[in-house]
Structure 1
Amino acid sequence: MKKICKRCVLIALSLVMALQLSACGKEGKTSSENDTKQGGTSSVGEPVRVKEDGMLFETRKVDNPDITMLIFWDPMEDINEINALYKKIYGGNVEVLVKAWGQKASLIASYAASGTKAEIVMLSKTDFPVMSASGVLEEIDLAKLDSNSEYWNINNMKNLTSINGKNYGLCFNNLNIVSTPLILFNKKIFSEFGQKTPLEYFRENAWNWDNFRKTAASLTMDKDGDGKTDLYGYDVSLSGAPGYLMESNGAEPLKYTDNTFSLNLNDPRVLAAYQLYSDMYNVDKSICTTEFKEYSNFLNGKTAMTTIAINQMAQLYADGMEAGSIGFAPFPSGPAAQGKHFANYEGHLIVGSVKGTGNTDATLAWMECAVSVWNKLALDSPPEITSYLYNDEEKAVIKEINAKTVKYEDSGLKYTADGSYGTRYINTCFLTAQEMVYKIRENLPLSTVMEQYKPTLQGYLDAANELLKTAK
């Protein structure tokens, strides 16, 4: 994959790489540097509700600002910046305990059993569900978390980190709209062929599947007359397509009721999502036929639209796209979504707290510092660091999209099982659902593909249900 600058990656994939680390993570103990307290809180009385430099949020009252962080990989630059900002605002030391990746589950369980406190625990989508179900994490009331940022939809994340109606953490990766997969489009191609852009449709409240399909088909053509298609309307990764389409139609492939997973493939909203992909690929032939080249195809002008995170604009421009030639809009709204738009929030890094710690105001304060730092890295860092500085027009579009993106609690979406998304079985189930796209690309009837894969999918769900029973 093309090299992307360090800070850009920190926002786009915010510590996803930690999921790939082996159990050989080194152990250690560090502490944030001692800065002079400039905080907006005091240990007694009412909180001083002011915004400090570098904070998107008003400060809160934190009685016990000294906190402990459990992390299972070497802290990166952004974590150090978050701890420094927390120290500056609240005056508390952040004791950072670096432990081996393989210790995570047993160590957190032992902390909870022994009453050892840790306000900040770095988790992932692969371990959070079982930990939250097994009672080793502190319940956190996210209603107390400020969410007045222009660029962040914190409320969209609540159902990703809740189970049985209770919340046990905050999911950070892809919390920011600028690290969310959207529709990117090549302005020059749209202008050349006189096509209305996705953003124009969006502003007219008409960015739906019908106009998406029509636009993609109109921009699929043999430009040089050699009998081969050399411009496609759309390209998307095979791994991402099912999720994007189902979410945009207010649907998901699994259900979670009474602490049990079940398949939801017969849901008309799910079937419609797969059918749209089949129609665009097999009938309109407007989806590019190459695999896993959505970045390079868009870069080289082979596709008019693609779905990748918009912070990859930095690398696209660095790799040669003309300045200002990229536009973006949310994913189009499906028929069942009735004009609502959903961003694809696929959480990887989840921050929780060990059960019994009891210092949730400090946990929430650290989370707000984290949001502030990551927002700054995404939007306001100097060009020499991010390779690209969003201009005023692009920032305005980001705000516009954020303002119109539906909150999960308003949409009815719970994205895979009330926050239980993440076990290796469910991940494997999703991968199998993605494999169904390969068969659809072979122009097999949708009903045939569904029946072929149901037994495999159900097997993964059975294993996940047994795992959750054990966790309970």
Structure 2
Amino acid sequence: MKAKLSLLFLALLLVLAACSGNNAATPQPSDPPENENKTEAPPAEEEKEPEEPEVNLGGREVRISQWWDAEPKGDSVADELARERIANVEKKYNVKISYLNTEYWSTSEKLSASVMANDPFAEIVRVPDGFIWGLMNGGFLTPLNDYTAASRMSDEMIEAMKFGGDTVYGLEGWFNDNESGVYYNKRLFKEAGLKNPQELMEEDNWNWAAMVDAAKKLTVDNNGDGKPDQYGLAGAHYVMSEMMIASNGGRIYDESTSKVMFDAPESMEALNLLHSLYNEHKVVKENEGNDWEDPAKYFAEGIIAMYPGGLWEIEGRIVDKMKDEWGYVYFPKGPKADAYLDRLGGTETVVIPKGVKDPEVMVKIWAELTDFDNWEENRRLSLENILPDETSVANAMNDNGEARRVFGGRFGGLGIKDHLDSVTEKFLTGETTPATGIAQVVGPAQAAVEKVLSGEIDDEKEEEAGGEG
């Protein structure tokens, strides 16, 4: 019996050994496969940006005030895209967009009066140049610091919309890198055997000295009567003073310190140049009664080699009036400049009046109606229609990246430009020097600034312009 049991036990061991040998790589039940009895983790979902909460303003009218008819009615691509943006906004927020054409000089008064009556006349208002200071200081505007994330404005633009303070009051999509420069007559430069401003710029030699040199050589007496009948330059003294100060890295006013900057070294150097053009070099053609219109007229007539002016002037003053070939370049670099610098004096901006409901939504609506994505392309197309050649368009668009605006010096509405103009006007006759004239007006100009910033407003309308936007 024991022998039989022993044989059975031995056979069982052999069977187990055989099974073990044939499945050496197979884990035993006490050691289950890695994937057995485990549930695979689902694939990780991509993180989604949190969706904006739905905003329903119940069919409310959102009124947008400007001093022209801004409703897109044409059949251009830009107008079609604008209508599409309006439709998207109206659907998204359940609103009705309407445009108000408010008279320029009445805008500020209408805004302040309606806010005081607790009934803002519009939800979004474009304020003309010069009025922002009184509206800010009078408490008529909604502070926008908490809503800038919805505005799509760059950090630089957000800072600019503080107007030297700590509170954001304005909305602006962008500032073009270049808005003003020098128009030049190609024929006059060619006939004189001179390199024109574009050629000088390509050599990195377009500076104040080069402009003065060209202006002297291009101021000539062609008919031999003892008086020049062709001049190197023409312009309004009050425009050239701004452009020259900016081109040297200077400012007429410093927003951060609330100080008039007429007597800063950069400014004085520019004013000395302007004085010399009239009195030492005598290369600026005298205007014949209309400082605003005459210079562009002379340029169109072909008797001026260089005309400093704004891009806005092309359609009304140069295109279809200029017979000679012409071009556009930046204003030349001043001695203290490291780039081609352009002024930024105007204070025109978009605001939300105090008391407007849902200001954050209004900022979003403004941003979604503003063509952030296509503005550069649209601007290029516009410039291609009015500028004479690709090089001029490239300059106006700042394709080479060499131009920039001088920020932090907007002065429109502060009452200071008249003081500076009263000095530069005397340059025309040599009645005063920059040092003497500026010393006489810095104090009164500073007093004018402090009067405006303190909230004291004159009864008369402030009609001082602060340069092109």
Task: Decide: shared fold, TM above 0.5.
Answer: yes
Deviation per CA, 1:267-319, whole angstroms, max 9, x where unpaired?
A: 11111111000111111111122252110110111210001223533442312
Whether contact under 8 Å (1:182, 1:307) holds in the other structure is yes
Are 1:457 and 2:455 matched, yes or no? no
For 1:148-187, what aligned pairs fall within 5 Å after superposition? 159=160, 162-171=163-172, 175-176=175-176, 180-187=179-186
How many Å separate the matches in 1 of 2:400 and 2:353?
A: 32
Aligned pair in 2 of structure 1 residues 246, 394: CA closer, same or farther (>3 Å)?
closer
1:25 alignment counterpart: none
- CA distance in 2 between partners of 1:263 and 1:347 (Å): 15
Which of 362, 366, 373 is the aligned partner of 1:363?
366
Match of 1:436 in 2: 423
1:202 aligns with 2:196: no
Paired position in structure 2 for 1:398: 396
Residue of structure 2 equivalent to 1:124? 128
Q: 1:109 to 1:75 in 2, by over 3 A?
A: farther
Question: Where does residue 214 of structure 2 map in the other structure?
Answer: 215
Which residue in 2 is equivalent to 1:267? Answer: 264
RMSD across aligned positions (CA) = 3.9
Q: Work out the percentage of aligned pairs sharing the same amino acid.
A: 18
Matches within 5 A, 1:56-75: 68-71=62-65, 73=67, 75=69
Structure 1 residues 433 and 364: alpha-carbon distance in aligned structure 2, compared to 1, 3 A threshold: same
> What does the per-residue CA deviation read over 1:198-219, in whole Å, with 9 as the maximum and x for residues that have no partner?
2222223222212122221221
Q: Give SS of 1:308's match.
A: strand
- Residues 56-84 of structure 1, C-alpha deviations (whole Å, 9 max, x = no match): xxxx9996697723416452456994852
Distance, in Å, in 2 between the alignment partners of 1:280 and 1:454 is 23
The residue matched to 1:69 in structure 2 has which SS?
Answer: strand
8 Å CA contact 1:133–1:163 kept in 2: the answer is no
Check 1:97–1:281 CA distance in 2 against 1; reply closer, same or farther (3 A cut): closer
Q: In structure 2, list runs of 5 or more residues that go unmatched.
A: 1-47, 459-469
Cα displacement (A) at 1:327: 0.7
Between the aligned partners of 2:82 and 2:387, the Cα distance in structure 1 is: 25
The equivalent of 1:51 in structure 2 is: none
Specify the alignment match of 1:87 in structure 2: 86
Distance 1:87 1:462, change over 3 A: closer
Q: Which residue of 1 aligns with 2:465?
A: none
Aligned with 1:406: secondary structure?
Answer: strand
Partner of 2:439: helix, strand, or coil? Answer: helix
Q: Secondary structure at the match of 2:233?
A: strand
Provide the TM-score with structure 1 as the length reference: 0.69
> Distance in 2 between the 1:72 and 1:147 partners?
20
**In 1, are the aligned partners of 2:233 and 2:306 still within 8 Å (CA)?**
yes
Give the Cα–Cα distance (whole angstroms) in 2 for the partners of residues 47 and 314 of structure 1.
Answer: 47
Q: 1:61 to 1:303 in 2, by over 3 A?
A: farther
Aligned-residue offset at 1:453 = 2.8
Query: Cα 1:309–1:186, aligned 2, differ >3 Å: closer, same or farther?
Result: same
Report what 1:235 is aligned to. Answer: 234
Q: How does 1:315-464 map onto structure 2 within 5 Å?
A: 315=316, 316-322=318-324, 325-337=325-337, 339-347=338-346, 349-354=348-353, 357-359=359-361, 360-368=363-371, 372=374, 376=378, 379-380=380-381, 388=386, 392-400=390-398, 403-406=401-404, 408=406, 413-416=407-410, 421-423=411-413, 426=414, 428-443=415-430, 444-464=432-452
Structure 1 residues not aligned, in runs of 5+? 1-44, 49-59, 149-153
Partner of 1:54: none
The alignment partner of 1:414 has SS state of: coil
8 Å CA contact 1:223, 1:229 repeated in 2: yes
Partner Cα distance (2:73, 2:346) in 1 = 17
Tell me how far 1:89 sits from its aligned partner: 4.8
2:111 paired residue number: 104
Moved more, 225-234 or 396-405: 396-405
Distance 1:358 1:47 in 2: 18
Deviation at 1:228, TM superposition (A): 0.7
Amino acid across the alignment from 1:283: E
Superimposed CA distance per residue, residues 162-196 of structure 1 (whole angstroms, 9 cap, x where no aligned partner): 34144322457x94467x22111111111111212
Larger relative contact order (CA 8 Å, sep ≥ 6): 1
**In structure 1, how many angstroms separate the alpha carbons of the residues matched to 2:230 and 2:208?**
20
CA contact 1:222–1:230 (8 Å) conserved in 2: yes
Q: Flag the 1:118–1:64 CA change in 2: closer, same or farther, 3 A.
A: farther
